[in-house]
Amino acid sequence: MKALVTGGAGLIGSHLVDLLLAEGWEVRVLDNLEPQTHLRGAPPWLRPESELIKGDVRDPEALSFALVGVDVVFHLAAYGGYMPEMAKFFDVNSVGTARMLETIRDRRLPVRKVIVASSQAVYAEGAVRCPEHGVVFPGVRPVDQLRTGDFSVRCPGCGALSPSCPTPEQAPIGGDSIYAMTKADQERTVLTWSRQTGIPAVALRFSCTYGPRQSIFNPYTGVIAIFTTRLLAGQQPVIYEDGLQTRDLCFVEDVARANLLAAVSDRADGQAINIGSGVAASIASVADLIGEFLGVEVEPILRGEFRPGEIRALTSDITRARAIGYEPHTDLRAGIAAYLEWILATGEIADRFGGIEAGLREKGIVQMVGSAS
């Protein structure tokens, strides 16, 4: 089998490349080596056994060349995070995906399956269990509510405060960030195309993925990387809301294995599937755990800031993933230990988050409790 891994130089993609090679696949990587993520160019972990094409998913010629002779496409290339560019999100994620699918269809390439990286960000909010109405799916918390400092999630039926519970795939999608919108575009476009063409496809809704090779240059990258680089640079982590918001944090090797399982099993075909750890961790506890490993006292900066459209609490229900043989193997403590061992060996660590904070506030991506509309 021959695979094309778009974004194959990145966090998830590079680990997937390693796994595919170990399983005897031929692997081709298409990656534009975005400078914000790959400041020094091609990273050292790119395997010589894989074929690298430096190209962009927005370039029809690069796509046509990269797709020749490919059996399975793992489409991981994306523009992500809370970056301020709006048009680029849609151009890379939405249009780039559509262009890739058009190329496969119109050139009648013998691709057997497409796996697309979606995200838990597509959900409006994590599921909650109302004392009266059971499991319900709240919408996005209103910005006016967040401006009062009320970060709670309530039952959409009766307004009762309701604790978080695992979110299944049948929860409504409707994430309220530009990134979330484009991720919803990607998965719906791929699954619709699959039904039209008869080529199997799977959309994997990844939880917050972390681990070795997460970019140390990208200031918008995952929370674990941001907290770690700040603490190593002598800065305290900035925490939005009150720090009690929770995330399902999944180790990158588990996510890579989920991609392979989706490719070799037909039980996932035509579906969107949650891929996560199935365990909730508060953002404040993540900061404390990193500080514990580094031997640094954590005094987080809590300014009463929040990001409109942010999910308060989301833990992935991974029942559907387990049906194809998926099981997370690395818990948060072991995963953070592995990440810290890697980043401490890189020799190049700087706090890049501090330089973008003002811009996020200026553009309204980050707002303050008590601010005017």
pLDDT digits (tens, 9 = 90+) for 119-151: 999 999 999 999 999 999 999 999 999 999 999
Q: Which two tokens stand for residue 349?
A: 């660590």
The band of 332, judged by pLDDT with boundaries at 50, 70 and 90, is very high
Lowest mean pLDDT, pick from 43-57, 87-101, 314-328, 337-351: 337-351
Cα R_g (the chain), whole angstroms = 20
The Cα 98–Cα 173 span in angstroms is: 20
The Cα 91–Cα 79 span in angstroms is: 9
pLDDT of 373 reads 56
262-301 per-position pLDDT tens digit: 999 999 999 999 999 999 999 999 999 999 999 999 999 9
Averaged pLDDT score across all residues of the chain: 93
Lowest mean pLDDT, pick from 13-27, 60-74, 171-185, 281-295: 171-185
Cβ–Cβ under 8 Å, residues 156 and 139: yes
pLDDT of 54 reads 96
- Given 123, 179, 220, 339, which residue is catalytic? 179
> Residue 296: what are its φ and ψ, rounded to 5°?
-120, 135
pLDDT of 57 reads 95
Q: Which residues contact 39 (CB under 8 A, 6 or more apart)?
A: 217
Residue 322 vs residues 19, 168, 313, 332, 353: alpha-carbon distances, Å: 19, 13, 22, 19, 36
Q: Which residue has the tokens 């890379």?
A: 92
Three-point CA angle 75, 80, 81, nearest 5°: 150
Strands 208-210 and 246-247: unpaired
Q: Which two tokens stand for residue 355?
A: 């330089």
The band of 86, judged by pLDDT with boundaries at 50, 70 and 90, is confident
Whether 179 is a known active-site residue: answer yes
Residue 85 vs residues 82, 217, 340: alpha-carbon distances, Å: 9, 17, 30
- Is the pLDDT at 317 greater than 70, yes or no? yes
- The candidate with the shortest Cα–Cα distance to 215, out of 6, 11, 8, 368, is 11
Mean pLDDT for the stretch of residues 223-243: 92
The band of 215, judged by pLDDT with boundaries at 50, 70 and 90, is confident
pLDDT of 82 reads 60
- SS3 at position 258: helix
Q: Which residues contact 300 (CB under 8 A, 6 or more apart)?
A: 236, 237, 238, 239, 243, 284, 287
47-75 per-position pLDDT tens digit: 999 999 999 999 999 999 999 999 999 99
Lowest mean pLDDT, pick from 95-109, 176-190, 250-264, 348-362: 348-362
What percent of the chain clears pLDDT 70, i.e. is strictly above it? 96
Q: Which residues contact 69 (CB under 8 A, 6 or more apart)?
A: 2
The Cα 96–Cα 57 span in angstroms is: 5
The Cα 70–Cα 4 span in angstroms is: 6
- Is the pLDDT at 228 greater than 90, yes or no? yes
pTM score of the predicted model: 0.94
The band of 41, judged by pLDDT with boundaries at 50, 70 and 90, is confident
